[in-house]
Structure 1
Amino acid sequence: MEKAEFVVVANRLPVDHATGEDGEPSWGRSPGGLVTALDPVMRQADGAWVGWVGKPDLDIEPFEIDGTHLVPVRLSAEDVELYYEGFSNDTIWPLYHDVISPPRYRRVWWEAYQRVNRRFADAAAEAAAVGAVVWVQDYQLQLVPQMLRESRPDLTIGYFHHIPFPAYGLFSQLPWRRQVLQGLLGADVIGFQRVADAGNFARAVRRQLRYDTKASGITVPNDDGTTRRALAKAFPISIDAASYIELARRADVRARADEIRASLGNPKQILLGVDRLDYTKGIRHRMKAYGELLDDGRLGVEDVTLVQVASPSRERVEAYVQLRDEIELMVGRVNGDHDTMDHTAIRYLHQNYPREEMVALYLAADVMLVTALRDGMNLVAKEYVAARVDNRGVLVLSEFAGASDELGSAIRINPHDIGGLKDAIMRAIEMPAAEQGRRMRALRRRVLDHTVEDWSRDFLDALDAFHEQEQSQ
């Protein structure tokens, strides 16, 4: 394969692996927003994407799909257990999400994380042309930027952090905090979802490494006694809004929205939650609030139904198994207390759905509940807004989701305040159509004016500008 001028490094490749009827492996494009954002850049630059195929112990040679060179990184079952399920999702994920669930610090996980990050860095270095741009994605690969800089100082390196970066008091718990900071500082530009996350990172660098930080710039010492600059800044991610608008206008999707309402007994109001099954999403908090509204008699099951889509997630991690049990117990209790023969209080759906079905749900829902306890961005909030081409519907949005920085016309809530959450749900249910329209139009302007393509362009433009500035000095 020819060396690429632009290389993306992510935990996963932008394809899903399946086995055809003939027993041969087949590949389908993943539907994720990151794939959509980077596809035009990849095609224009004849880029390469380095990542894992999603199944352990598969040895696959680099291949091409839809004009993109894919470079698979092999992970063994042990790698998946220690690097991915262990350090990435049982240490970093809970620590970076405000310790909502206790993180576990195991040296064997850290050793696997280092080993696998090195494998990704080596694959990226091998794929990149001289002077190429390499863009590393997310918390599973925080050591890759520095590893790349050591082996390929000719590269321009960017890193984007898709989840929150914690306040220093929490981050300092990590036994390997200095190594992680140094790993990230291998990048020329380090991007975060929120201004607060970039500030938390800069403070951690100042406190731990004693490097000089001014505005968004960080002075990083080189091994030869010279210094270079790194930029740490917020680049809030978004969605492919046009694709949601297109689906929302399709007659079959609108008809499906009507079917969904009818299948729920045509309640006056449908509340909707859409999340990965994760303890950061505040699913229990919204169910508690809704259950109490039914208990209090402020809502009736004939009039208002809660639909909760909770897609399966990390089902081998103990905290997630426990969470699923707790939520299913809560659903059973609320439904047992309030269901009638014709109406269900909570319709709980622990499955994945195609995008068409999700847009139909967005159109059917009168109120979208985003009650995250901590979230880097939360793209579901933006998807709901993009799909509401009728300028109706109400978004109830946690102030702890990154999206709340941008979507100021939502009803903002503190999900820990169950009383306040109950009042916010009632306010959303009772909101007049004129106010719904006014708020939704403002929300849609923001989402349509800042798409995922704008996000990738903003980041790469900043990377180019920063590189040119460094070269001129």
Structure 2
Amino acid sequence: MPQDGYDFVVVSNRLPVDRIVDEDGGSTWRRSPGGLVSALAPVMAQRDGAWVGWHGAPDEDLEPFYHDVFHLVPVSLSELEVRRYYEGFSNATLWPLYHDVIASPEFHRTWWYAYRRVNERFARHAAETAAAGATVWVQDYQLQLVPRMLRRLRPDVTIGFFNHIPFPPTEIFSQLPWRRAVLEGLTGADLIGFQRPGDAQNFQRCVRRYLGVQFTKGSAEFSESTADGEQTSWTVSAGSYPISIDVESIKELASDPSVQARAREIREELGNPETIYLGVDRLDYTKGIRHRIKAYGELLNDGKLSVADSVLIQVASPSRERVDSYRQLRELVEGMVGRINGQHDTISHTAIRYLHHGYPFEEMVALYLAADVMLVTALRDGMNLVAKEYVAARRDGSGALVLSEFTGAAEQLKHAILVNPHDIDGLKDAMLRARDLPRAEARKRMAAMRWQVLTHDVVDWSRRFLDDLADHAAYHPSIPGPAAGSGPGSASGSGDDAAAGNEGSGTDRG
């Protein structure tokens, strides 16, 4: 690490690398796939950057190390913290709450205490890593307390925060016992980015209601007193910065002869059906997997589809399998698939090819090329990048996208066939319409969607956010340093949200 720290620091729950263990038990690191890592790698290289995050193994301490263009600063988590901070508060409290309570969130004080403690640790690592006047970009809902904690530790840095998932309306957010503490944490940032304008508006309304601060044209003034009576103040802006994908890597794979050959092979292995429907999701209750399977099964029962001429491929990669709601979802989905296949399969044809494991990205692009209709039926989704990946892969302009109106992607991909996935009859009609789209109309729709995706990729997303954050840095006020007692541990909220909260079911799964 440079003596004076790093000028650009990313803080996220996970580091941008995965550990690979070979047959002899040796381990190496490999860059993680995904648009965020691809977008920030060149920024890291250009701006002398560091990345703060958990390396994925509990109860293990690692020293900072270099990999590829990244200087990596591991944050250690215990097994108990993984259960309470990550599986508990992040994914059994915040995730369902922020996704319109599709599943019931659980509120446990021990989870909250762990979340606050881990956020403080991330903030301290970021503070120790950042150079004077650095830019720090905090990522996602697992670290919502970090901005204010970091501001108290390092008032000289410029802080951005991006929320990758939806932000709920006031009526839903109000259920969170620690709502003030979360809002105070977020408003420590100079710039807060959301996927959709509606998410930014929800956040601003919550701030007005619970913190008593009014946003005007997307900005608001905040201040607080230190223990020695000094007054610190800063401006917070909140707006929409819809994330996108690494277009170039998908275009390159979609042009690869071996990937194109694999796409043809997939169709042949399925018996060259007239229509391949495709769903690609994490196995998550927000993705509407059961709704699309139910619709597909009813189309088979109605005789409007048959296993001889159509097939549904459902890739459902494992996700959060130690969380109860996810285990229950897997049982429900696999039960539905079994019943439909048992009723409709023949010796040579299967109704639904259900694949509960992950795939290399090359195989995913081959599936995108093989599929005639992409089904994205999320009940609530901040963006949904699978929809954009499918569009980017369709180089020949063919294919159709059935897209839930409850995704962030629906605001950009307006030429998709938009659906309310709760309306099973409407979803069935959309699936048939996608199959039967006239060739000219299908190509016109796909061309419009491809233009949007190709001209607004993940690099454009990161550039727009960081450019706006740099505008804040240019006018960053001189702020006194933190006073005793004003450090991260004090960002626990006040009033109705201090200390103890609702115990939910009365038990702590941690």
Q: TM-score band, normalised by the shorter chain?
A: over 0.9
CA distance in 1, matches of 2:403, 2:235: 37
Amino acid at match of 1:412: L
CA apart distance, 1:226 = 5.5
CA distance in 2, matches of 1:396, 1:425: 7
Amino acid at match of 2:51: W
One of 367, 371, 384 as aligned partner of 1:365: 371
CA distance in 1, matches of 2:82, 2:167: 23
Q: Which residue of 2 aligns with 1:441?
A: 447
**2:312 matches 1:310:** no
1:149-228 maps to which residues of 2 (within 5 A)? 149-223=151-225, 224-225=230-231, 227-228=233-234
CA distance in 2, matches of 1:406, 1:340: 40
Contact 1:272–1:365 at 8 Å: present in 2 too? yes
Amino acid at match of 2:144: Q
C-alpha offsets along residues 63-120 of structure 1, whole Å, 9 cap, x if unaligned? 0011210000001100100000000000000000000000000000000000000110
**2:344 matches 1:338:** yes
Q: Where in structure 1 do 4 or more consecutive aligned residues deviate above 4 Å? A: 470-473
CA apart distance, 1:470 = 4.4
C-alpha offsets along residues 133-191 of structure 1, whole Å, 9 cap, x if unaligned? 00000000000000000000000000000000001000000000000000000000000
C-alpha offsets along residues 201-232 of structure 1, whole Å, 9 cap, x if unaligned? 00000011111211211221232445421000
C-alpha offsets along residues 306-330 of structure 1, whole Å, 9 cap, x if unaligned? 0000000000000000000000000
SS at match of 1:280: helix
**2:360 matches 1:323:** no
Contact 2:156–2:478 at 8 Å: present in 1 too? no
Q: Which residue of 1 aligns with 2:250?
A: 244
SS at match of 1:434: helix
Contact 1:46–1:67 at 8 Å: present in 2 too? no
1:46-65 maps to which residues of 2 (within 5 A)? 46-65=48-67
Greater shift, 461-470 or 333-342, is seen at: 461-470
SS at match of 1:325: helix
Amino acid at match of 1:236: P
CA distance in 2, matches of 1:125, 1:436: 51
Amino acid at match of 2:436: E
SS at match of 2:320: coil
Contact 2:41–2:69 at 8 Å: present in 1 too? no
1:263-302 maps to which residues of 2 (within 5 A)? 263-302=269-308
Contact 2:234–2:477 at 8 Å: present in 1 too? no
CA distance in 1, matches of 2:66, 2:334: 42
C-alpha offsets along residues 33-78 of structure 1, whole Å, 9 cap, x if unaligned? 1100100100001100000011111211100011210000001100
TM-score, normalising length from structure 2? 0.92
**Gap regions ≥5 residues in structure 2:** 480-510
CA apart distance, 1:466 = 2.2
SS at match of 1:465: helix
CA distance in 1, matches of 2:297, 2:250: 31
CA distance in 2, matches of 1:320, 1:226: 44
Amino acid at match of 1:251: P
Q: Which residue of 2 aligns with 1:402?
A: 408
CA distance in 1, matches of 2:146, 2:22: 34
1:86-125 maps to which residues of 2 (within 5 A)? 86-125=88-127
C-alpha offsets along residues 318-350 of structure 1, whole Å, 9 cap, x if unaligned? 000000000000000111111111110000000
1:359-438 maps to which residues of 2 (within 5 A)? 359-438=365-444
Q: Which residue of 1 aligns with 2:494?
A: none
Contact 1:187–1:230 at 8 Å: present in 2 too? yes
One of 62, 67, 70 as aligned partner of 1:68: 70
Contact 1:11–1:51 at 8 Å: present in 2 too? yes
**2:241 matches 1:235:** yes
Percent of pairs with identical residues: 64
CA distance in 2, matches of 1:206, 1:233: 15
Contact 1:222–1:228 at 8 Å: present in 2 too? no
CA distance in 2, matches of 1:71, 1:234: 29
**2:18 matches 1:16:** yes
CA distance in 1, matches of 2:107, 2:478: 43
CA distance in 2, matches of 1:27, 1:339: 43
Amino acid at match of 2:91: N
Amino acid at match of 2:254: A
CA distance in 2, matches of 1:348, 1:164: 28
Q: Which residue of 2 aligns with 1:140?
A: 142
CA distance in 2, matches of 1:102, 1:221: 35
CA distance in 2, matches of 1:58, 1:35: 23
CA distance in 2, matches of 1:14, 1:249: 27
Greater shift, 14-23 or 52-61, is seen at: 14-23
Amino acid at match of 1:441: A
CA distance in 1, matches of 2:124, 2:476: 25
CA distance in 2, matches of 1:244, 1:23: 33
Q: Which residue of 1 aligns with 2:503?
A: none
CA distance in 1, matches of 2:232, 2:334: 57
SS at match of 2:19: strand
CA distance in 2, matches of 1:128, 1:304: 55
Flag the structure with more relative contact order, 1 or 2, with Cα contacts below 8 A and sequence separation at least 6: 2
Amino acid at match of 1:13: L
CA apart distance, 1:472 = 10
CA apart distance, 1:23 = 2.8
> Would the alpha carbon gap of residues 334 and 446 (structure 1) be closer, same or farther in structure 2, given more than 3 Å must change?
same
Amino acid at match of 1:329: G
